[in-house]
Structure 1
Amino acid sequence: MRLLIATDAWKPQVNGVVRSLEEMAKHAGAFGAEAVFITPLDFLSVPMPTYPEIRLSLTYPRRIARMIDRMEPTHIHIATEGPIGFATRSVCLSRGIPFTTSYHTRFPEYLAARAPIRPQWTYALIRRFHNAGSGVMVATPSLELELSNIGFRGIMRWSRGVDTDLFRPRTERVLDVPGPIFLTVSRLSVEKNIAAFLALDLPGTKVVVGDGPARQDLKKIDPSAVFLGSLSGERLASVYASADAFVFPSLTDTFGLVLLEALASGVPVAAYPVTGPLDIVGGTGCGVLDHDLRSAALAALDCDRDACRAHAEKFSWLESASQFFGNIRSADGPATDTGREAA
Structure 2
Amino acid sequence: MSADHSLPDTSAPAEGASPVTQVGYLPPGTRDRRALLMRLLGTYGTIIVLGSMLLIFSVLQPGTFATIGNFRNIINDMAIGTIVAAGLTVPLVAGDFDLSIGYVASFCGLLVVGLLSYSGLSIPLAIVLVVGLGTLIGIVNGIVVSKIGVNAFIATLGTGTIVVGLNYAYSGGIPLQLTQSREFTGIAIGRIAGVPHLVIIMAVVLALLWVILNRTVQGQHIKAIGVSPESARRAGVAVDRSRIVAFAIASTCAAIGGVLMASNLGSGQVTAGDSFMLTSFSAAFLGSAALREGQFHILGTLIGVLTVAVGNNGLAMIGAPIFTQFLFTGSLLVVAVALGGIGRRYGRG
Larger radius of gyration: 2
User: Shorter-chain TM-score: which interval?
Assistant: under 0.3
Q: Which has the higher contact order (CA 8 A, sep 6+)?
A: 2
Q: TM-score, normalised by structure 2?
A: 0.24
Which is strand-richer, 1 or 2?
1
